[in-house]
Structure 1
Amino acid sequence: MLGMMLFWVWIESFKEQGLILTESGSLLTQNIEGLRGRELTDALKKYADRARRGAEDAALLSGTSKDLLEATAAHVLTQKYGAYPQQANFPALLGQAFIALGMATPVGQTQDNEPPHSSLERGMFETAVGINRLRNKQGTGHGRPWIPSIKDYEAEAAIEMAGVIASYMLDKLKIN
């Protein structure tokens, strides 16, 4: 009885980290493709939290920061409008999500009286596009998160920044 209770505690602990502990003892990553609405928001938030911890989480470094940002942008648009443009390139998809959340993008002119966070949001947009470029450097990287010419510290910075940006977007989604 105690053993079974402990097993369920472990299942819940792993679930909070975006992992699934099966009854056979296998540890799997949570698949977000089947999730919708609030469940997807929660799963993306957990993924973003793990990304912010970056270097502490070797399992996540096998994933991609671009995928997190792309999934977050698509989720924002789906929550706001019911769908997202599946053929849009990364900057266009991200820009649409930023606009849907009322976030500043580099496209618009800066205003003297704009809130200070507008500059921060423009920086986040540029950083996200930079992460996308880093991920796609030399046109490769599909199937591998980082190609050999990308340094470890660049990969760690990219995944940590992706976590911060995705978390910010998901927090804005909650209040909008």
Structure 2
Amino acid sequence: MKSICVYAGSNAGVHPAYEQEAIHLAKTIAEQGRTLVYGGSRIGLMGRLANTVLEHGGQVIGVMPRGLFKGEMVHQGLTELYEVESMHARKAKMMELSDGFIALPGGFGTFEELFEAVSWSQLGIHEKPIGLLDVEGFYAPLVAFVEQAVKAGFIHEAHAGLLLLDQQPAELIVRMESFVRPQKVNKWSELPATES
């Protein structure tokens, strides 16, 4: 993975560990010579990520919708900044530029980006690994919710494994690099496998 897209909150959150682990992840990305792809903001966990990667000599690519947010939110010191026309275009560009995805703690925007990435993986649109950095158990309820959806018959059991969970950035990246997406799994329980 040469480039990693990180989905993260535009706020820093209330627990100090959220910021600490965002910085830890950013240092890991920079030290491993990888490029950070992210949403282009200078504030919140997003800003901490970008600043830390840059401070440690790494490359940072931001993608920001033109005119949607206040100008002071846009990080002006990035290696490269793409301005796109919409949130849809933003997610598509971030996906195009990235070899894998990591979700830090965040809100609705982070969740939306994460679930689009995993939905597209489930459908076979991409085969890139998706990691959850589980800071202070932030993503444990989500993993439990996915398990509930598997038991309820809405997610194939093999697809639950599309989300890789770890508490340490370096270990998560190792797991992502060795990830092999489940092949030929029929997502639709009412269709024969030959129609999937």
TM-score (norm 1): 0.29
Which structure's relative contact order is higher, taking Cα pairs within 8 Å and 6+ residues apart? 1
Q: Who wins on radius of gyration, i.e. which is larger?
A: 1
Q: Kindly indicate which of the two structures has a greater share of residues assigned to strand.
A: 2
